[in-house]
Amino acid sequence: MRRYISMLILAAAAVVSAFGQAKPSVSILGDSYSTFEGWLTPDTNAVWYTVPPDTRHTDVKGVDQTWWHQVLKRKGWKLEVNNSYSGSTVCNTGYRDEDYTHESFVTRMTALGTPDIILIFGGTNDSWAGSPIGEFKYDGIRRADLFSFRPAMAYMLARMKELYPTADIYFISNDGLKESITQSVGTICSHYGVPLIQLRGIDKKSGHPSVVGMKQIADQVCEAIP
């Protein structure tokens, strides 16, 4: 009888252990590079990768070809939220000096669910749009500061560490950006202890990752994250 009870206890412990090993959940805060039609939250976010694809601009046809879907599959993770928005900047200044507060990273960063891991992939449009770079600022950041890249980036990382204290946060930086953006990302990530994944040699079509480029991104992200 005692042996039978012991076996039941061991079985129950195994079940608890199995549940305790649930797949880590991942949220993505990104721009066009991380979009795919039908896979965004909210679904009103602007999309670059559509179904069917615009073959003039991309050869990416399925969600399984996106960098993040490949990372999730290889790592055995599950998607929590993909809050990516095509054309979005980290700061509140977008193309043509327009106010991008509605879609900026600093606005959307509060809507990522309850993830175990957060992958931030941004800065590309800040570079392309010529958003103001601003000064390095880590304290006393005001709303007006959020219209420049450096203080907006700093505010975003600081706030996200407060919003998601148990999540592992990584920042992915595109290759081929303005040196001022690339260097600023490195400096600010270092200040907040956020691991930086600096991409290199990504294949692109119309400025966006091709099928080959998506795999290259996935390879580099998987290599950087234990």
For residue range 107-116, what is the model confidence (pLDDT) as tens digits? Answer: 999 999 999 9
Measured distance between the N- and C-terminal CA atoms of the chain, rounded to whole angstroms = 45
Please calculate the CA angle 151-191-24 and round it to the nearest 5 degrees. Answer: 100
Q: For residue 123, what pLDDT is reported?
A: 98
Poorest-pLDDT segment among 18-27, 47-56, 155-164, 178-187:
18-27
Confidence of residue 172 (pLDDT cuts 50, 70, 90): very high
User: What gap in Å lies between CA 142 and CA 146, rounded to an integer?
Assistant: 7
Q: What's the mean pLDDT when you consider all of the chain?
A: 93
Q: How many CA atoms within 13 Å lie on the side-chain side of 202?
A: 28
Please report, for the chain, how many H helices and E strands are present, in that order.
Answer: 7, 7
Confidence of residue 16 (pLDDT cuts 50, 70, 90): very low
Q: For residue 13, what pLDDT is reported?
A: 45
**Greater model confidence, 20 or 146:** 146
Average pLDDT over residues 16-45: 87
